[in-house]
Amino acid sequence: MKPLIFLLLAVQTLGAQDAVTSSVHRFRVEKVAEGLDHPWGVEKLPDGRFLITERGGRLLLVSANGVEMTPVSGVPPVFAQGQGGLLDVTLHPEYADNGWIYLALSKPIGDGALTSIVRAKLDGDRLTDLETVFDPPPGEATDKNIHFGSRIVFDGRGFMFFPVGDRGGPTTPDNLAQSLGSVTGKIHRLHDDGRVPEDNPFVGTPGAVPSIWAYGVRNPQGLVHDAATGRLWETEHGPRGGDELNIIRKGANYGWPVATYGINYSGTKITDKTSAPGMEDPIVQWTPVIAASGLELYKGGKFPRWRGNLFAGGLAGQKLVRIQLNGTAVTRQENLLENTGRIRDVRTFDDGFLYVLYDEPGQLVRLVPAD
């Protein structure tokens, strides 16, 4: 499948009380919380409070009205350098019964770090019962402070998916993203307690990391599972050009850096190939990049004509891209919230609003119907 490129519909820069008319819905932006320090992920607890991670290593418990922010103790140490630190936060699908909260973080290992997944329970304002779900191999840790990933999603069938970035490997075919013996540059799949599923594609392959579900990715920071179709959608950062939207399939190779639409930051070519046999083409590629971050599939009731659309946050692009789908095909893209800040995460919760987490300015907002 070849990628589709669209002219995007620009929408005015908005203030907090401005109504915005998109192509199918009018909405306003409501501020939920502000004064955050490079927030990375947001989750909502059943009682209406929010959990928000800050890259520097703080996990905040935020009241439903955003007024009270309480640091949560018991968070593991993180490698808070560059793109590293405390990353995603996600509740277990059966949180009401088991109380598990999952965190993605860059784990300090020697003088370097690598992406790790842990889980714990919340007791007041502290984490308890901390367990490591994915412990990265120390031999792959590096002191580079880029390309950690990482989001955590569940498929509702007991499986957990998360990416590990390529950790700034070389833009040559020997990048470890192409090696089944490395955890980097991969999408991983585990049981919720960290066990490796027996039907993972490379279980039994000599030398392969058994948790690998798919490979050949650069720096994925958007991941969402569509329960209705079983599709796993991913967005990842390209280098200079070539951000991607992909459907992640079992055992598939997504080409980095053998095939890419991006070039080196110096302006030199990485490869002449944008497509290669045996490698998956992106559904969409963005050049110039949007610096694709959080990704959400809208399934709420507040904006019925957005239902089934993907929403991709852009950091450098400072926009929220609404992606209209027809099956696996993208039929339209629309830019929202342009030039309002660097968007790190996009989420929907049980209230049906669309929440947007800004890295800069550090704030959480929600989109609400204007009429």
What residues are annotated to the active site? 147
Cβ burial, residue 231 (10 Å; 0-12/13-18/19+): middle
User: Cis before residue 170, ω within 30 degrees of 0?
Assistant: no
Residue type, 23: S
C-alpha to C-alpha distance for 17 and 237, rounded to whole angstroms: 32
Taking the CB of residue 40, how many other CB atoms lie within 10 A of it?
A: 27
Residue 90 β-bridge partners? 102
293 HSE (CA, 13 A, CB side):
27
C-alpha to C-alpha distance for 78 and 86, rounded to whole angstroms: 6
Tokens of 83: 């793109």
C-alpha to C-alpha distance for 190 and 196, rounded to whole angstroms: 5
Tokens of 274: 């944008």
Tokens of 178: 């192409």
CA 291 to chain centroid, in Å, comes to 11
Taking the CB of residue 321, how many other CB atoms lie within 10 A of it?
A: 28
Strand ranges across the sheet with 101-109: 86-91, 101-109, 112-123, 126-134
8 Å CB contact between 304 and 354:
no
